[in-house]
Amino acid sequence: MQSRGRVTAAEVARELEVSVATARRDLEALSTAGIPVYPQAGRGGGWSLVGGARTDLSGLSEGEARALFLLLGPAAGSAEAKGALRKLVQALPRTFRADAVAAAEATVVDDRRWGEQDRDRPPMVAELQTAVIRRRKVRVSYANHAGKRSEWLLDPLGLVDKNATWYLVAGSDRGRRTFRVDRILSMRSTDEIARRPDDFTLEQAWDEVVGEMEERRSRLWATVIVPGRYAYVLRDQFGRHVEQVGPVDAEQVRVRVGAPTALDIARHLAGWGTMIDVTEPEPVRAELARIGAELSARYR
């Protein structure tokens, strides 16, 4: 009511995922309990706060509110956390709300590894978060994995912390793109308003990015029998590209591991020696045999 002025029981029911009857009963209970809400019947009617009554989460500066929601947003994974976040937004002074909501949606945390080592947070992350929240276009100079440099004018949509590797999801004149923040050579925020699609959500966009990446990175899968107490080491090595199939016996489990090529898989597994058994596919077994023969010949 504070943010919209007037709501219907149907809108409350949809927002809070309850029945219309429950929403209407609770609204009436609020009024009966002395909360200054009242219904207005007829076309265009609904429930409103009497005389603009409201509550504020006072004492916070605009910067403090933004910083708070930058921390809270990525943590709001459960329904309870999202509900608490929604209530906190409504308790903020009206002028702070837009930035608070943008801050809560500006970052996604994905702690599932891609098999890379941890990295320090790039100093440019804070500047990019500000651009996302303020909805300002940015000009960046970017170097791809091969070192080729390019210039971009971007609509920053959100940031993702992927196990301490940061990514910027942004719109451009070439469509939506994802950039590794540690490959951004320079960045300058502009006064131009960034475009943000009405139906955009950072979580969904990142799921699409991960799906495309997984398809490219895991074109080949191998089945491995490993002692159950060491299965976590394989998960650490292969990150998302591990699927536990099931137990073999009381001590061993069967898992599937993925990588783009047979050689990539073999390089990860060669150090295990005879602790594991790769049952298939044959190209991975052949690569392991070749690596073993090379090591044996050199260190015989």
Per mean pLDDT, which range of 93-102, 122-131, 193-202 is the poorest? 93-102
**Which pLDDT does position 47 carry in this prediction?**
86
Residue 242, pLDDT > 70, answer yes
Residue 153, pLDDT > 90, answer yes
**Which pLDDT does position 289 carry in this prediction?**
95
| Rounded mean pLDDT, 168-184 | 93
Count Cβ atoms within 10 A of the Cβ of residue 244 and give its class: 0-12 exposed, 13-18 middle, 19 or more buried.
middle
User: Would you mind telling me the total number of residues written for the chain in this entry?
Assistant: 300
CATH number of 218-299: 3.30.70
| Rounded mean pLDDT, 261-274 | 92
Q: Domain ranges in the chain?
A: 1-54, 109-215, 218-299
**Which pLDDT does position 100 carry in this prediction?**
74
Measured over the CA atoms of residue 126, residue 199, residue 195 and residue 174, the dihedral's sign is positive
Give residue 84's pLDDT band: very low, low, confident or very high (50, 70, 90).
Answer: confident
DSSP run (H or E) holding 161: strand 149-162
Give residue 190's pLDDT band: very low, low, confident or very high (50, 70, 90).
Answer: very high
Provide the 10 A C-beta neighbour count for residue 166: 21
**Stronger pLDDT, 57 or 213, i.e. the higher one:** 213
**Which pLDDT does position 298 carry in this prediction?**
93
Alpha helix segments (H runs only) across 33-180: 62-75, 79-91, 94-104, 125-134
Mean pLDDT score of the chain, rounded to an integer? 83
Per-residue pLDDT tens digits for 20-77: 999 988 988 888 777 778 888 777 778 887 765 555 555 667 677 777 777 666 656 5
Give residue 176's pLDDT band: very low, low, confident or very high (50, 70, 90).
Answer: very high
**Which pLDDT does position 270 carry in this prediction?**
93
**Stronger pLDDT, 254 or 32, i.e. the higher one:** 254
Residue 140, pLDDT > 70, answer yes
Topology (CATH level 3) of domain 1-54: Arc Repressor Mutant, subunit A (1.10.10)
**Which pLDDT does position 265 carry in this prediction?**
92
Cβ atoms 157, 205 nearer than 8 A:
yes
Provide the 10 A C-beta neighbour count for residue 186: 10
* 49: Cβ contacts below 8 Å, ≥ 6 apart: 1, 2, 36, 37
pTM: 0.49
Cis peptide before 123 (omega within 30 of 0): no
Q: How far apart are CA 20 and CA 9, in angstroms?
A: 6
What does DSSP assign to residue 282?
H
**Stronger pLDDT, 5 or 18, i.e. the higher one:** 18
Q: Percent of the chain scored above 90 by pLDDT?
A: 35
Domain 109-215 has CATH 2.30.30.100: yes
**Which pLDDT does position 59 carry in this prediction?**
61
